[in-house]
A and B are shown apart, each in its own frame.
Chain A
Amino acid sequence: MTTDKIVAKNLQVAYGPKVIIKTADFAVKQNDIFIIMGGSGSGKSSLLRVLTGLMPPAKGTFWVDGTDYPAADDETKLEIMKKVGILYQSGGLFSSMTLAENVALPLQKYTDYSPATIDELVNLKLALVGLNGYNDYYPAEISGGMKKRAGLARALALDPEIVYFDEPSAGLDPISSTRLDNLMKDINQSLGTTLVVVTHELDSIFAIGTNGIFLDAASKSLTAHGNPHDLLKNPPNETVYNFLTRGKEDEKTA
């Protein structure tokens, strides 16, 4: 039985008077790889900021595991965020800490594991993302793709139920990007983690996405909701079709 992990109702995203998304209603089911797609400036990353609690919604609300997140008190919010991992666009690693220290940080803060257990967990998490043996490296000493994978190791440190990804493929070569996609799928299938991915990379969308929404920059609204493959077969409007086909139809008619 699948249950809803995240439910958004009449969610409006705005920076002061500037509205980015007028209204959005969607549900992310448990074990989904949920893609937030759309063109540049459509509000994908802003929506992610709202969902991760970095900014409040202008209107409406969203529930995480049945809890109204914006209305929750600080303690409840913290408990919810412990179940959430986030991979930022550039990894978000602390430059003054080694990769092992970066991954160990949430474990030291939120668990009472012994140092030996934390070391073993750090070794495992780094190995899971293909960075076995890179414990003593600093972020400045590794490549962009490795930074993202190390960021993912940190995001997975507390065995989160939900992991958010902000443009995971941005700045990666096709091979690294494919590896990261495969890793995300493996994590989703092995741990049953729900993944919410902000991206506009079509290869990634079709390779990993099981559900998703499409944000339209022109109408500032959510114009499609569903599996990306189904959306390609039965596009609800021309914008979605053009996006999912890289505007190839336009080229043919031009």
Chain B
Amino acid sequence: MATPDFEIKSSVLTVRLGGNLTHVESPAALFQAAQNLETKKISVLTEGLKAWDSTLVSILFELQNISHARKIGFEAKGLPQGLARLLALAQAVPQHVDKVVVEKEPLLDRLGSWGINLFNIFLKGWHFTAENLAALGRFATGKTAARKVDFLFALEDCGPKALGIVSLISFMVGLILAFVGAIQLKTFGAQVYVASLVTIGMIRIMGAIMAGIIMAGRTGASFAATLGTMQVNEEIDALKTMGVPVSEFLVLPRLAALVIAMPILTMLADFMGMLGGAFVGVLLLDIPAVEYWRYSWQAWGLTNFFVGLFHGFVFGFIISLCGCYYGINSGRNADGVGVATTKAVVAGIVWMIIATGFITFCCERLGI
């Protein structure tokens, strides 16, 4: 690989460019010579240069930069016109001073800032929730800026289009519950109670939780990505400047759709989970179908069913609010949308689990 020849004589670093100088690797020795304190001038001589490319220009540019930094002379003779123009173009705008790097704060300051930030996030989230709950009331009376068509699209997206995935996952969860339960119950010869185990588990909590997790990953993420992209495209800014309430126009249709869809999806998840349990119980554990049905029916209680539905209803609120909140507050680039989507799913699932704990505690205290 060709490199430019150079020599130092009488404090002058002479660089000779000739022949074919393309794909030239960075000449460390040449730069060291240019940095040498004895070098007082850099002189570039061009003799018979047949071919050159950007790598040669970048070397000359680096030498020029060194000469500027060291305040020593730089002279280039006989450079091809194009190469000389490029060098001049590269030097046309002076180097921008490095960006200001913010110094790291002391640990206590950082802890304080973190606490204040966290408090502000909670406050902002609370305001967002309160604003949308109030708007939901107005939506019921038809006195909002929300469009009916947006609501119907959102309802289709989080209702009929989610049936397949919710059915499949819930069926598999019911199946797994039955298998795991059967291992223990078989040791007592009580495998028929698999029916009770699966029924109570699915309808009281597991159906709602499975539907919730699926919808957080599917619909919550979709809400965040859609609204985040709208933020990037300045659509949300346009709504604000037109005086259209963002919450009513963008959040309400999605919130209402998911709040309506979630209890229905929870019922479907309950049913499919029970079906999965029956599949294991009847076909693999040889429990007679009538027996399985009888034990399932005995375990199925209206209270459990409504507790499950209530979970689904609450999860609908949580998933849509998290998705919309992070979407609306997304960064204004591709990365920002990605971060918003991740946060929406994580926050949705975390708040669902917190809500489950709270509801379970309340049910326990109320004896439900």
Contact = CB atoms under 8 A, between A and B. Distances in A.
Contact of B89 (A133, A140, A186): A186
B93 A124 contact: no
B26 A95 contact: no
Interface stretch (A62-70, A188-196, A221-229): A188-196
A127 B90 contact: yes
B55 to A, nearest CB: 6
Given A121-B54, A124-B58, A136 B93 contact: no
Q: Rank and list the top 10 A-B pairs by shortest CB-CB distance, nearest first.
A: A133-B96, A116-B26, A95-B333, A124-B58, A127-B90, A130-B93, A120-B58, A133-B95, A190-B85, A117-B26
Interface of B: 23-26, 28, 53-55, 57-59, 61-62, 65, 81-83, 85-86, 89-99, 331-336
8 contacts: A114-B25, A117-B25, A117-B26, A120-B55, A123-B62, A128-B90, A133-B98, A159-B54
B25 A191 contact: no
A141 to B, nearest CB: 8
A89 B26 CA distance: 33
Interface residues of A, number: 34
Nearest to A136: B99
Contacts of B335: 95-96
A88 interface: no
B82 A189 contact: yes
A127 B334 contact: no
Interface SS of B by simple majority = helix
A137 B53 contact: no
A226 B82 CA distance: 26
A132 interface: yes
B61 A127 contact: yes
B3 to A, nearest CB: 11
Nearest to B332: A140
Interface of A: 94-96, 111, 113-114, 116-117, 119-121, 123-125, 127-128, 130-134, 136-137, 139-141, 156, 159, 183, 186, 189-192
B58 A123 contact: yes
B85 A186 contact: yes
Contacts of B91: 127
Interface-centre pick from B55, B81, B94 (highest chain A CB count, 10 A):
B55
Nearest to A121: B58
A86 B331 CA distance: 26
B53 A190 contact: no
A206 B96 CA distance: 32
Contacts of B28: 116
Given A117-B25, A127-B61, A132-B94, A95 B86 contact: no
A125 B54 contact: yes
A189 B82 CA distance: 7
Contact of A117 (B55, B83, B90, B95): B55
A159 B91 CA distance: 19
A180 to B, nearest CB: 13
Nearest to A137: B99
Nearest to A111: B23
Given A96-B335, A117-B25, A128-B89, 12 more contacts: A95-B335, A95-B336, A114-B25, A116-B26, A121-B54, A124-B54, A136-B98, A136-B99, A140-B333, A190-B81, A190-B82, A190-B86
Given A121-B54, A123-B58, A124-B61, A131 B96 contact: yes
